[in-house]
Amino acid sequence: MKLVVTGAAGMLGHRVVAAARERGHDAVASDLPELDLTDASAVGRFIACEAPDAIVHCAAYTDVDGAEAHEQLARRVNADATANVGAAAAATGSFVVAVSTDYVFAGDADRPYVESAVPEPRTAYGRTKLLGERALAASGAGHAIARTAWLFGAGGPNFVDTMLRLAGERDEVRVVDDQVGCPTWTGFLAPALLELAERRAGGIHHLAGAGSCSWRDLAVETFRVAGADCDVIAVSSDEFVRPAPRPAWSVLGSERDDSIVLPPWQDHVAAYLKEQG
């Protein structure tokens, strides 16, 4: 299968390219500055030239706090660019797997959000990602929307790496324990995205580490697996006020009969740290 991967220089995108090639696919990596996804004509020409069987759309504006001040830019990247990818894919018959986020939900539930849960984003980032979902659905392209959460992996800044760096600098860290979600390693997510492309499994899919934990729990597990001697002090979100409010509840679940179930979140931490050596 021939694939185009957008955002291929990013933390997730480069992992999708590598995983695709490991599976024997012809993966074409695309990113700035070679291709500006907000340029509809350029996207149309590129996809028409490559004529891929599928597109794994990882490119996104992911600065959650920055989006609060630059929502129009975030909208261009997360919504308009996705509309361009969808239109180009519809013209070539390419199937699109687009990566989305738990931030499309309000974050105030008490049970896992499943695919049919009603989105109600509370941040600019969440609003622009939801607009991207809707633009892709309206494009006419065959597509899957893969929502994930609490992503970490090699090749980009992430919570696990930050905790390990801090553990090397101090004896204790203060981490919020009133936000709960599903930590997800790119090494497990990338093959799942490719499976959606291979199966042309349309619709919305929730793909995240199984189970749930707080950020404090994730820090504790990271230090345990890494053998780091650092205490984790539980604090509330009020101690870390950010421009964009973080959802208190980011737990994703699935109601699909054909759902792809990722391993427990603890396995994501262990696999990532083992790979990092």
Whether the ω angle into residue 33 lies within 30 degrees of 0, i.e. cis, is yes
Task: Give Cα 144 distance to the centre of its chain.
Answer: 14
Identity of the amino acid at 92: T
CB-CB contact of 112 with 253 (8 Å): yes
CA angle 93, 99, 101 (to 5 degrees): 145
**Which of 34, 31, 40, 24 lies closest to 8, judged by CA?**
31
Structure tokens at 136: 């892709």
| C-alpha dihedral sign at 245, 108, 149, 117 | negative
Catalytically active residues, by annotation:
125
Look at the block and give the residue holding tokens 């001697």: 229
Look at the block and give the residue holding tokens 């390219």: 17
**Which of 91, 101, 99 lies closest to 142, judged by CA?**
91
Residues 6+ apart with CB under 8 A from 82: 57, 98, 132, 133, 135, 136
Q: What is the DSSP letter of 245?
A: P
